[in-house]
Structure 1
Amino acid sequence: MLNNKQKRALRREAHSLKPLFQIGKEGMNEQIITHVDEAIEKREILKVNLLQNCMEDKHEVAAELAEGTGSEVVQVIGSTIVLYRRSKDNPGIELPK
Protein backbone atom coordinates (compact mmCIF):
# COMPACT_ATOMS: atom_id res chain seq x y z
CA MET A 1 0.00 0.00 0.00
CA LEU A 2 1.38 3.37 -1.01
CA ASN A 3 1.40 6.28 1.41
CA ASN A 4 0.80 9.90 0.38
CA LYS A 5 4.51 10.74 0.13
CA GLN A 6 5.10 7.79 -2.22
CA LYS A 7 2.07 8.66 -4.35
CA ARG A 8 3.30 12.23 -4.65
CA ALA A 9 6.73 11.01 -5.83
CA LEU A 10 5.11 8.64 -8.35
CA ARG A 11 2.84 11.39 -9.69
CA ARG A 12 5.95 13.52 -10.20
CA GLU A 13 7.63 10.63 -12.02
CA ALA A 14 4.58 10.01 -14.24
CA HIS A 15 4.00 13.65 -15.16
CA SER A 16 6.19 13.55 -18.28
CA LEU A 17 5.04 10.11 -19.46
CA LYS A 18 2.72 9.65 -22.42
CA PRO A 19 -0.18 7.18 -22.10
CA LEU A 20 0.81 3.74 -23.43
CA PHE A 21 -2.70 2.32 -23.70
CA GLN A 22 -6.07 3.67 -24.74
CA ILE A 23 -9.38 2.14 -23.78
CA GLY A 24 -12.27 2.94 -26.11
CA LYS A 25 -15.84 1.85 -26.70
CA GLU A 26 -14.96 -1.85 -26.45
CA GLY A 27 -14.08 -1.26 -22.80
CA MET A 28 -11.98 -3.57 -20.66
CA ASN A 29 -11.05 -7.11 -21.67
CA GLU A 30 -8.50 -9.76 -20.73
CA GLN A 31 -6.22 -8.80 -23.62
CA ILE A 32 -5.80 -5.25 -22.34
CA ILE A 33 -5.08 -6.50 -18.83
CA THR A 34 -2.44 -8.90 -20.19
CA HIS A 35 -0.71 -6.17 -22.20
CA VAL A 36 -0.78 -3.70 -19.30
CA ASP A 37 0.64 -6.41 -17.01
CA GLU A 38 3.57 -7.03 -19.37
CA ALA A 39 4.27 -3.32 -19.82
CA ILE A 40 4.09 -2.48 -16.12
CA GLU A 41 6.62 -5.22 -15.33
CA LYS A 42 9.13 -3.51 -17.62
CA ARG A 43 8.35 0.13 -16.80
CA GLU A 44 6.99 -0.02 -13.23
CA ILE A 45 4.81 3.05 -13.84
CA LEU A 46 2.54 3.80 -16.76
CA LYS A 47 -0.43 5.80 -17.91
CA VAL A 48 -3.66 4.51 -19.46
CA ASN A 49 -5.97 6.88 -21.29
CA LEU A 50 -9.75 6.43 -21.51
CA LEU A 51 -11.23 7.70 -24.75
CA GLN A 52 -14.44 9.75 -24.80
CA ASN A 53 -16.41 6.86 -26.28
CA CYS A 54 -15.55 4.55 -23.36
CA MET A 55 -18.82 3.91 -21.53
CA GLU A 56 -17.24 2.48 -18.36
CA ASP A 57 -16.55 4.55 -15.25
CA LYS A 58 -12.90 5.59 -15.01
CA HIS A 59 -12.62 4.60 -11.33
CA GLU A 60 -14.03 1.14 -12.05
CA VAL A 61 -11.60 0.69 -14.95
CA ALA A 62 -8.71 1.78 -12.72
CA ALA A 63 -9.73 -0.68 -9.99
CA GLU A 64 -10.15 -3.50 -12.51
CA LEU A 65 -6.72 -2.83 -14.07
CA ALA A 66 -5.06 -2.65 -10.66
CA GLU A 67 -6.66 -5.90 -9.53
CA GLY A 68 -5.89 -7.71 -12.80
CA THR A 69 -2.25 -6.64 -12.89
CA GLY A 70 -1.47 -6.65 -9.17
CA SER A 71 -0.59 -2.97 -9.31
CA GLU A 72 -1.73 0.08 -7.39
CA VAL A 73 -3.63 3.09 -8.67
CA VAL A 74 -1.49 6.17 -8.12
CA GLN A 75 -3.90 8.67 -9.60
CA VAL A 76 -7.03 9.04 -11.70
CA ILE A 77 -7.13 12.50 -13.18
CA GLY A 78 -9.41 13.47 -16.03
CA SER A 79 -9.44 10.50 -18.37
CA THR A 80 -5.94 9.31 -17.40
CA ILE A 81 -5.09 6.51 -14.99
CA VAL A 82 -1.60 6.14 -13.49
CA LEU A 83 -0.60 2.66 -12.28
CA TYR A 84 2.48 1.48 -10.37
CA ARG A 85 3.91 -1.93 -9.54
CA ARG A 86 7.47 -2.63 -8.43
CA SER A 87 9.29 -4.77 -10.99
CA LYS A 88 10.33 -8.22 -9.83
CA ASP A 89 13.34 -8.38 -12.16
CA ASN A 90 14.60 -4.81 -12.54
CA PRO A 91 13.32 -2.43 -9.84
CA GLY A 92 14.30 1.07 -10.95
CA ILE A 93 12.11 3.52 -9.04
CA GLU A 94 13.15 4.21 -5.46
CA LEU A 95 10.20 5.24 -3.33
CA PRO A 96 10.56 7.49 -0.28
CA LYS A 97 9.65 5.93 3.06
Structure 2
Amino acid sequence: MSLTNKQKQFLKGEAHPLKPVVLLGANGLTEGVVAEIEQALEDHELIKVKVPEEERELRQQMMAAIVRETGAEQVQVIGKTQILFRPAKEPRMRLPRA
Protein backbone atom coordinates (compact mmCIF):
# COMPACT_ATOMS: atom_id res chain seq x y z
CA MET A 1 0.00 0.00 0.00
CA SER A 2 1.29 3.42 -0.88
CA LEU A 3 -0.21 6.65 0.39
CA THR A 4 -0.73 9.66 -1.84
CA ASN A 5 0.38 13.12 -0.71
CA LYS A 6 -3.26 14.05 -0.11
CA GLN A 7 -3.75 11.01 2.13
CA LYS A 8 -0.51 11.75 4.02
CA GLN A 9 -1.65 15.33 4.63
CA PHE A 10 -4.97 14.04 5.96
CA LEU A 11 -3.22 11.55 8.26
CA LYS A 12 -0.78 14.19 9.54
CA GLY A 13 -3.75 16.29 10.60
CA GLU A 14 -5.40 13.32 12.30
CA ALA A 15 -2.16 12.40 14.10
CA HIS A 16 -1.44 15.90 15.40
CA PRO A 17 -3.30 15.58 18.74
CA LEU A 18 -2.12 11.99 19.35
CA LYS A 19 0.43 11.11 22.00
CA PRO A 20 3.07 8.42 21.32
CA VAL A 21 1.62 5.01 22.22
CA VAL A 22 4.92 3.11 22.07
CA LEU A 23 8.25 4.30 23.46
CA LEU A 24 11.38 2.32 22.62
CA GLY A 25 13.51 1.72 25.68
CA ALA A 26 17.19 1.03 26.31
CA ASN A 27 16.93 -2.41 24.69
CA GLY A 28 15.92 -0.86 21.37
CA LEU A 29 13.67 -2.66 18.92
CA THR A 30 12.88 -6.03 20.50
CA GLU A 31 10.28 -8.63 19.52
CA GLY A 32 8.10 -7.41 22.39
CA VAL A 33 8.21 -3.82 21.14
CA VAL A 34 7.34 -4.94 17.59
CA ALA A 35 4.40 -6.94 18.99
CA GLU A 36 3.25 -3.87 20.94
CA ILE A 37 3.42 -1.72 17.78
CA GLU A 38 1.50 -4.40 15.82
CA GLN A 39 -1.25 -4.43 18.46
CA ALA A 40 -1.44 -0.63 18.58
CA LEU A 41 -1.73 -0.47 14.77
CA GLU A 42 -4.52 -3.05 14.81
CA ASP A 43 -6.36 -1.16 17.55
CA HIS A 44 -5.86 2.42 16.32
CA GLU A 45 -4.59 2.27 12.68
CA LEU A 46 -2.75 5.59 13.15
CA ILE A 47 -0.12 5.79 15.89
CA LYS A 48 2.97 7.66 17.01
CA VAL A 49 6.13 5.83 18.08
CA LYS A 50 8.89 7.57 20.03
CA VAL A 51 12.45 6.44 19.24
CA PRO A 52 14.67 8.21 21.81
CA GLU A 53 17.97 7.19 20.16
CA GLU A 54 20.37 10.16 20.10
CA GLU A 55 22.38 9.09 17.04
CA ARG A 56 20.41 10.09 13.92
CA GLU A 57 21.69 7.26 11.68
CA LEU A 58 20.80 4.59 14.23
CA ARG A 59 17.38 6.20 14.84
CA GLN A 60 16.63 6.15 11.09
CA GLN A 61 17.65 2.49 10.91
CA MET A 62 15.31 1.65 13.81
CA MET A 63 12.44 3.52 12.16
CA ALA A 64 13.06 1.72 8.86
CA ALA A 65 13.08 -1.61 10.72
CA ILE A 66 9.75 -0.77 12.37
CA VAL A 67 8.18 -0.09 8.96
CA ARG A 68 9.70 -3.28 7.52
CA GLU A 69 8.64 -5.49 10.47
CA THR A 70 5.08 -4.17 10.78
CA GLY A 71 4.22 -3.55 7.14
CA ALA A 72 2.93 -0.12 8.15
CA GLU A 73 3.21 3.01 6.05
CA GLN A 74 5.39 5.81 7.45
CA VAL A 75 3.36 9.02 7.30
CA GLN A 76 5.91 11.40 8.81
CA VAL A 77 8.94 11.67 11.08
CA ILE A 78 9.25 14.67 13.36
CA GLY A 79 12.48 14.55 15.33
CA LYS A 80 12.36 11.34 17.34
CA THR A 81 8.67 10.66 16.72
CA GLN A 82 7.46 8.46 13.87
CA ILE A 83 3.86 8.50 12.64
CA LEU A 84 2.67 5.16 11.27
CA PHE A 85 -0.53 4.10 9.52
CA ARG A 86 -1.79 0.63 8.67
CA PRO A 87 -5.45 -0.14 7.97
CA ALA A 88 -6.94 -2.64 10.41
CA LYS A 89 -8.63 -5.84 9.24
CA GLU A 90 -11.88 -3.93 9.67
CA PRO A 91 -10.84 -0.35 8.77
CA ARG A 92 -12.35 2.43 10.89
CA MET A 93 -10.57 5.37 9.27
CA ARG A 94 -11.61 6.52 5.81
CA LEU A 95 -8.85 8.04 3.74
CA PRO A 96 -9.52 10.66 1.07
CA ARG A 97 -9.31 9.38 -2.48
CA ALA A 98 -6.13 9.87 -4.43
The answer, yes or no, to whether TM exceeds 0.5 is: yes
Alpha-carbon distance in structure 1 between the residues aligned to 2:63 and 2:84: 8
Unaligned stretches of 5+ residues in structure 2: none
Matches within 5 A, 1:1-97: 1-52=2-53, 57-89=58-90, 91-97=91-97
Alpha-carbon distance in structure 2 between the residues aligned to 1:85 and 1:79: 20
Unaligned stretches of 5+ residues in structure 1: none
| Contact 2:53–2:59, Cα closer than 8 Å, also in 1 | no
Alpha-carbon distance in structure 1 between the residues aligned to 2:26 and 2:54: 5
- CA deviation after TM superposition for structure 1 residue 16, in Å: 0.2
What count of residue pairs does the alignment treat as equivalent?
96
After TM superposition, the score normalised by the length of structure 2 is 0.88
Alpha-carbon distance in structure 2 between the residues aligned to 1:24 and 1:17: 20
- CA deviation after TM superposition for structure 1 residue 18, in Å: 0.3
| Contact 1:59–1:76, Cα closer than 8 Å, also in 2 | no
After TM superposition, the score normalised by the length of structure 1 is 0.89
Q: 1:53 to 1:25 in 2, by over 3 A?
A: farther
Alpha-carbon distance in structure 2 between the residues aligned to 1:93 and 1:62: 23
Q: Quote the RMSD (CA, aligned, Å).
A: 1.8
Aligned residues: percent identity?
A: 39
| Contact 1:11–1:74, Cα closer than 8 Å, also in 2 | yes
